[in-house]
Amino acid sequence: MLNFVSGYIEHFTYAGLFIVLMLCGLGLPLPEDLALLTGGYLAHRGLIQYPFALGISLLGVITGDNSLFFIGRHAGSRILRYFGIGRRGENSNIARIRNFFERHGNRAIFYARFLAGLRALVYLSAGSFGIAPARFFLYDLLGAVISVPIVVSVGYLFGAHLEKIVKYLGGLEHLLLIVGGLCLLVYATRLLVQRANEA
């Protein structure tokens, strides 16, 4: 897969990097970090310029994220019905999710940028539950300004060891998902204990 992505981006250079990253944001079954690493790797080889690789990568990531957000914003009710949320008797679920985004939406959008497995769901939900576009853009941009340069720079600085880096990041993503799952479990347990104490 690495050779395919590298070959495609190398052939189409900056436009290829932008298109791949935008499609990753829209759900292309390809890890976004792999495309970012490849952009850095091609800059390492001198096929594209490092500052332009950073700029195009950031633009591609933000475009993909915001496209997904607007899909949620315009098709959110249909998506919710598809997953069984919003059917008769489910209004309390919608109220809880909406309340979550009102209280914690900024952090959810920011941290989702670092969690590949949850990113698409959070961004679609943010659009579906009425997060303001400017608010989404700001917190997504803040996350991307941190994450994108790090991954592109790793590909650029350690291009000779890219295969090992990709394997390592794959393991790191799984670790982050486990940590995120444990955090959710702790949060859910805390809510259950609070409700039990109130009853």
- What pLDDT digit, counting tens, does each position of 95-105 carry? 777 777 778 78
Confidence band for 1, pLDDT divided at 50, 70 and 90? very low
Q: Which two structure tokens, joined as six digits, stand for 58?
A: 């950031």
Confidence band for 138, pLDDT divided at 50, 70 and 90? very high
Please tell me the total count of domains within the chain.
1
The phi and psi torsions of 171 (rounded to 5 degrees) equal -65, -40
Does pTM top 0.75 for this prediction? Answer: no
Q: What is the CA radius of gyration of the chain?
A: 19
Confidence band for 64, pLDDT divided at 50, 70 and 90? very high
Q: Residue 34: pLDDT above 60?
A: yes
Convert the pLDDT of each residue in 181-194 to its tens digit.
666 777 677 777 77
Angle at Cα 68 formed by Cα 82 and Cα 88, nearest 5°? 25
Q: Which domain holds residue 110?
A: 2-198
Measured distance CA(9)–CA(56) in Å, rounded:
12
Measured distance CA(193)–CA(199) in Å, rounded:
10
Nearest CA to 138 out of 105, 114, 115 is that of 105
What is the average pLDDT value for the chain, to the nearest integer?
Answer: 77
Q: Which residue has the higher pLDDT, 95 or 65?
A: 65
pLDDT of residue 10: 58
Question: What is the DSSP track for 111-170?
Answer: HHTT-HHHHHHHHHHHHHTT--HHHHHHHHHHHHHHHHHHHHHHHHHTGGGHHHHHHHHH
Cα–Cα separations (whole angstroms), residue 86 to 49, 56, 122, 143: 48, 39, 17, 30
